[in-house]
Structures are given as C-alpha cells and as structure tokens.
Structure 1
C-alpha cells in the first residue's frame, strides 16, 4: 500500500497515523508538508492513497493558503474564506496526478463550509438545528432572528473550525449577551482559548460585522441535555460508514470543545441516561451523516441530545475531526481503526455500496 500524508511533519495526527501504519506492519507513509504542496511540489503518483490532515496553525502555511504578503497575526480571525479557497486549490493539485484522497476534495469542500454542509444534511433528512437565511451583518441578523421568533442562536464563521469565532448569542429582557472565543481589540479579532462574555450590544454588533465578509452561518440554539450540572454533547468518529469511537464533551457553558478547558464526560453514563433506543437512533443518524460523504474514509460528527434525551441533532460535521487520544474501540484508536478499514477491505466495500459517485476522484471547487 502506497500512502502519502499531506500534513505538517510535527502534527500530532500525522504521528499517530504513522504509528498506526507501522504497528500494522505497513511501510511508513510519505509525509508531504503543506508548505511543499502550496509552493509547487509534484503531486503524489497515480495509485497513491492520500490522507489529508488539517493545515494547523503554521504561520507560513497560513500565509500561503491566503496568498498573503505576510502571515496573519497569531490567532487572528481574518481571511477565513481565503484560507478555505487555498485549501481547496491545494487538494486539487494533490489529486491532479491521479492519487486517491481518502477524504476527497468534493467532500472536504462541503465539510469545510458550514452553510453547504447544513443544507446537504437537511436535504438528506438528517436532524439539524434550523438555520436562518444568509445574513451579512448584525442588523440583518437581528432582523432575521425577529422574523423567525428566535431569541438564541449560534453565529458561526462559514469556514471556521474548533469553535474559532463562534458566538452564542442570546437576546432577552435584560439586553443582548454573547459568549464566544473571540477577543475583540481595536485592531482585530483574535481567537482565544478563554471564553469571553460580551454584553454591550454595540460591541457585539461590531464583532459580527467584522466577521461577516468571510461568510456567516446562523443556527437556532437548541437546549442540550445535561449530566452532573453540565451540558453535554458527543464527538463521534465514523469510519467507513460505521460509528466506532465517541467522546463526551461536558461544559458549564454553551461551547463544549475540549480544548477550551471543558471536561470529558462518562460515555457509559450518557448512554444510560439516553437509553438504548435513543442511543441506537443517534448512531443511525451518524451513519446517515457519513452516507452523505460516501467517498470519505472518516468524518467527525458533533451530535447533541436535546433536553429530555428523546431527540437529538447534528451540530457539525468535521473533515479533520478524528483526534480522540486515548479512546479505544476493540483495542484500536481512531487511526488504527482507519488503517484496519483500509487493509481489511471495509473502506472498499463502503465505497462500492455507495455506487460509482463514491469511486470518482472529483475535481476540487465543487
């Protein structure tokens, strides 16, 4: 098996996937750095399998993706649409030599655009929060919320990830409140690992208006179920169509991402609270999500049970959402499971069952 990984050599995902390949007795994969892809490196040869990892936070890679004269300041939330375009152009160049991407460019194009992903899932009957029509600034956002009768929403950059730039916005008798990862300064918006609370509507409006040019996706804020006085949701990794690994994310606030200082919850406790029928229905939904991306080896599904545990919804689907360190299923972590799916024929069977469209190597920019 010839396999190339597009990723930064010091990326943890690259190291873990390489370890899984070696543990399976397979050759060490070739690592093609993102910077090399973006500066004209020859694409992998026809017949090569290519795993693409997140570009990460390398300043030079960020500059090259955005085709900017200088790197953005660390954590600055600018040029997200340009970064998206850069990623898609790079994947097109990687596939140009006839290599097969384990998550093909057309799937990544949808997964990295929250608007398109939401529309695709909704059309497929996957339960997702309702979304507002496109908004281009704070005034339009408030008008759309009023028209929909919504008092609480999540405002998301269309091309963001890891909760960067996400705003949990609530409007009530006491005014407007926002919880977000954004640190607003006079000369820019910066992603932060510390949640910030804004209550001045003019300041909140300014943040939304500064994010809007790169595209916004706005969803209704649904009440999540809770355990032990924390709200909880799940990251479920689906590999070759099968939900295999899950981690519970527990938070005291609306944003549950673990890198924001939130805790891992007890999966057994969550399954017991939901009950067997609700858990089975949620995993069937994760399978339906994966079926929307039938050429992709894996997707990471952010799934929430709603208050009462009888209903659930999909909040996000991630192209690079398979990093669940320490989570094992059948003795394998997410990377060993992907290697197992590749070598055991499960990925081939998954793509074959999906039909010819899943076997194509599609051009990027779809």
Structure 2
C-alpha cells in the first residue's frame, strides 16, 4: 500500500500521520504540498494507491493562495473566508483530477466545510441537529428572524469558519444584547484571538455580524448543554470507517468549548456515567449516521452535545479535518494509527461497501 498526503509539509498533522504509517511498516508517504497544488503542480496519478488530503490551515502562504490574494492576512485576521473555501474546493478538484483514490472525497469535504450545506445534509438524514434560521444577510435580518421565531439565544457562525473563529454566542435579554466571541473588532478589520470576550454594546455586535455576513452565515438555536460540576460539556467524537473510536470531552464555563481557548478536557467516564448507557448508545449511533452521510471520507470529527437533562443530544458540527487529537488513545492507537489500521485491515473498504449497499 502506497500513500500520498496532500498537506503542509511542516505541519504536525502530516508528521503524526507519517509516524503512524511508518509504525505500520508501510512505505513513508509522499507529501504533495498544498502550496504546490495551488500553484499548478500535477495531481497525484492514478498509480498512487491512496491519497489523504489534510487540512490546508496554519500556513500563511497557503492561506493567501487559497484566497487568491496578493497580500497575506494579518495575524488572526478574519478575511476572505468564502474565497478561501472556493480555493479549497478548486484545489480538491485538482487533486482528484489525476484519478487517484482519495481517502476524503472532494464532494464530502466541500459539504463539511460549509456549515449550511452540512446542516441540511444531516437534517435530511434524520440526524438530530439544532434548528437553524433561514439565511440572514446581516444583523438587522438576524434580529428580525430571532423575533419571528421567538429565539432569544443563537449561535452565529461563519459558514466556512473553523475552530470557533468568528463564532458569536448571542443572547437577547431584558438588559439588552450580549455576545460571547473570540472576535476582536478594530477600525480596519476583524481579528480572532485565543481569548473569549463578552461584548455588550449592540452597535459593536451588529458591526461584527455585518462584517462577517458577506462571506456567509449559519445561525442555529442555542440549545442548553448538559453540565458536569461547574462547567458545560460537549464531546468531539472521531469516527473512523463508520465506527466511533476516539472521544474527547470539552468542558467550559462559557458557551465556546474549544480546547485551544483555554478550556479543559473533561472526564469521559464521568460523562458516560451521567448520560447513562441508553443515552450514550443513542449518541454514538447518531455519530455513525453522520459518517454514513459522507461515505467517501475515511474519518469525520463530530462535535456532539448532550442537552440539559442528558436524555437528548444534538450534533453541533462535523469536521472534515477533525482528527488532530494528540494524546488520545483507543485500543492503544492514536487517531492516525486508527486510520492506518482501518486501511490495512480492509475495514474502511468493507464499511464503505456496506454504506453503498444500504443506500442502494
């Protein structure tokens, strides 16, 4: 088995996957840099058995090439999200043009990287998801839609964002409007930080939403999450070849639970005990149904929340590149070794064939 990775060569994702491949006594993967793909490099030929497309993130040059911009974004700047998405889709199509078999199908990635499309696919498949508003083009339209539905709390998400960048948890109450977000507005742009801040000035919140709106917004009802001790919790579930394998509990005192924002890893055993066997089993079944919506993808990362009371759950997001879970082991394998194991044992092909048979 010969593997090629499309990724950023210096990125830890590529390094960790390469380590897992070598540990399985397979040939070291070839690496096709995203920068080369986006500047016209030939796609992997069909002779390459399998091609893994990794995240193009965390590289300023690649970001500029995705956005087709002559200038680099400033550190943390939220700019050109729709352009970057279009560049990603075009790059995926170029990678696929050589005819090689991809471990994440471009059509899957295109849906997973558009929160509006992903929500629609999951909803149509019967996966429990938060209710969503019709498209809104700015803050005034957002408030009108919230008033029409009676929703007082929503998550406003950039359609093509990741890692909570640009997300606002908006609440309307007797004292006015507040928004918890990592966004720091400046006179000449919006910047993402690693610190969650609370904006209480409605004009500031409106300006942030209006600046993000041209790149597309996805707005969901803010459902109350279950809590453990003094924190709310949700879980990232990695599903490999249709099977939930690795799980990370994310515990936060606020609405944004991403670990890179200074939140804590919670205790999985404690969470499972609080949910109970029936609720946990139902949640994992939903994760399996999510994966079945994307049968061309070896893995998906599911952000799942148990709702207050623990009896119900909902899928908040699904990540095309959600397998960076350092230090998390299942059956002695990390997230990358698990994927290599699914390939070498044939489990991925068996699962994919089973999904296709069910769809037929």
Q: Where on the TM-score scale, by shorter chain, does this alignment land: which range? A: over 0.9
Q: Does 1:12 align with 2:17?
A: no
Distance 1:59 1:357 in 2: 42
Match runs of 1:117-156 below 5 Å: 117-156=118-157
Aligned equivalent of 1:364: none
Decide whether the 8 Å contact of 1:155 with 1:167 is kept in 2.
yes
Aligned counterparts, 1:105-184, within 5 A: 105-184=106-185
Partner of 1:343: 344
TM-score (norm 1): 0.96
Per-residue CA shift, 1:246-285, capped at 9, x if unaligned?
0000000000000000000000000000000000000000
Whether the 8 Å contact between 1:47 and 1:100 is mirrored in structure 2 is: no
Say which SS state the counterpart of residue 121 (structure 1) adopts: helix
Question: Helix, strand or coil for the counterpart of 1:208?
Answer: helix
After superposition, give the CA deviation of every residue in 1:16-75 in whole Å (9 maximum; x if it has no partner).
110000000000001111101111111111042111111112111111111111111121
**Shift of residue 228 of structure 1?**
1.4
Q: Structure 1, residues 122-144: CA drift from partner, whole Å, max 9, x if none? A: 01100000000000000000000
- How far apart, in 1, do the equivalents of 2:101 and 2:142 lie? 41
Quickly say closer, same or farther: Cα 1:113–1:195, change in 2 above 3 A. same
Residue in 1 that maps onto 2:320: 319
Which residue of structure 1 lines up, in the alignment, with residue 280 of structure 2?
279
With normalisation by structure 2, the TM-score equals: 0.98
Q: Show structure 1 runs of 4+ deviating over 3 A.
A: none
**Match runs of 1:1-366 below 5 Å:** 1-48=1-48, 49-355=50-356
Which residues of structure 2 form unaligned runs of 5+? Answer: none
Cα-Cα RMSD: 1.1
Moved more, 312-321 or 92-101: 92-101
> Could you report, residue by residue, the CA deviation over 1:187-226 in whole angstroms, capped at 9, with x for unpaired residues?
1001110111100001110000000000000000000000
Decide whether aligned partners of structure 1 residues 13 and 211 sit closer, same or farther in structure 2, where only a CA change above 3 A counts: same
2-structure distance, mates of 1:278, 1:79: 40
Q: Secondary structure at the match of 2:300?
A: strand
**Greater length-normalized contact order (CA 8 Å, ≥ 6 residues apart):** 1
Match of 1:361 in 2: none
Paired positions, count? 358
